[in-house]
Amino acid sequence: MEDSSAAQAHQEEPLGPLVTALIVSHNSGEALHRCVASLEASEGRDRMEILVVDQGSRDGSATIDADFPGITPLRLPKNFGMTKARNIGVRTAKGEFLLFLTPEVTVKPDTALRLAERMQTDPKIGLSAPTLTGENGQPLPQVAPLPDAAHLSAWVRNRVPWQSPQPDGPVGTLSSRALMVRRQTIVGMNYFDERFGECWSDIEMCYRVNRGGKHAVVYPDLSVTDSGEPPPRASSVPALEADWRLGAIAFAGKHMGMGAQIGLYVSALLGSLGSPGGFGAFSRILSGQKVDGTEQFD
């Protein structure tokens, strides 16, 4: 009788969250509010953890849990870069699946649950995403080929060659503005490599998942609205420009050898002089100064 009661009590224990929606925010204000409000309206909200990692915001968005007491806030004192912030979030997350979102993205009620259910039924899917659409409902570019040595310099000069997803087409790199991955995948990678600052850790995640034999897919029947990236302040452009180029150099060193890394380092230094960051980006690349909390972005 006691064994039967214990078994029944065990069955009635609440399950942990299926999904952790993880948002990294910095002075995101109204956009963050809209994003969290859309998540709160999700189907299966009781199976979702909403985790907001705030990076030293000064616009009041760090206290968003006052409006949404059901979320989990993590408050960092400074902007340490996307890589470190996501690692902190992943280490805190309890969900089986991680839904990475930027504050400018709003989801539909079925987005998180449907993505998780589809990944549950197909273990070959390593990364999945809803279709990103603009406020006009039109699809936005969100996929790109995997980076390779032959085209890496072009990636550095022109940023990621994002394209709109094609039906049933191959997907290499997925935008992490709205992307789902198993938490165990990130843990198995030993989390995101913190040699990256703001940029490139998400690209490397896609690269490693694909090289591990898993598929990356975009679902045309699931969509989210992306209101677009906020423009960076002029004072932050050199830091972000340098971080982008340093991320590419680190990626090349890890996956393409020392020769590719050195060649990219030289071209990144020279190319930075003609970039929006100018000499400020050049000096940061020379010193290896990624986005790591040493500067405050207002």
Which pLDDT does position 1 carry in this prediction?
A: 45
Do 250 and 213 lie in one domain? The reply is no
**Which pairing describes strands 105-106 and 125-133: parallel, antiparallel, or unpaired?**
unpaired
Domain end, chosen from 182, 205, 226, is at 226
CA angle 285, 254, 239 (to 5 degrees): 25
Compute the residue count for the chain. 298
pLDDT at 13: 47
pLDDT, tens digit (0-9, with 9 covering 90-100), for 183-210: 999 999 999 999 999 999 999 999 999 9
Is residue 247 situated within a structural domain? yes
User: What pLDDT, in 10s, does the model give residues 30-73?
Assistant: 999 999 999 999 999 999 999 999 999 999 898 999 999 999 99
pLDDT tens per residue across span 229-249: 888 887 789 999 999 999 999
Q: Domain range spanning residue 268?
A: 234-287
Within this chain, do residues 96 and 35 fall inside the same structural domain, yes or no? yes
Is 11 a residue whose pLDDT tops 70? no
CB 129 within 8 A of CB 111: no
The C-alpha atoms of residue 216 and residue 129 are separated, in whole angstroms, by 8
Give yes or no: residues 222 and 242 share one domain: no
Q: Beta-strand (E) ranges in the chain?
A: 19-25, 48-55, 72-76, 97-101, 105-106, 125-133, 143-144, 173-174, 178-182, 215-226
Count other Cβ atoms within 10 Å, centred on residue 135.
Answer: 10
* Amino acid 230: pLDDT: 83
Q: Indicate if 199 and 271 belong to the same structural domain.
A: no
More confident residue, 7 or 20: 20
Q: Rounded to whole angstroms, how far apart are CA atoms 254 and 38? A: 38
Residue 28 lies in a domain: yes
**In this predicted model, what pLDDT tens digit does every residue of 88-114 receive, in sequence order?**
999 999 999 999 999 999 999 999 999
Number of domains within the chain: 2
Tens digit of each residue's pLDDT (9 = 90 or more) over 246-285? 999 999 999 999 999 999 999 999 989 988 889 999 999 9
The answer, yes or no, to whether residue 6 has pLDDT greater than 90, is: no
This prediction's pTM: 0.93
**Domain-located, residue 294:** no
CATH of the domain at 46: 3.90.550.10
Q: Residues 140-176: pLDDT tens digits?
A: 999 999 999 888 988 888 889 999 987 766 789 999 9
Residue 3 has pLDDT above 90, yes or no: no
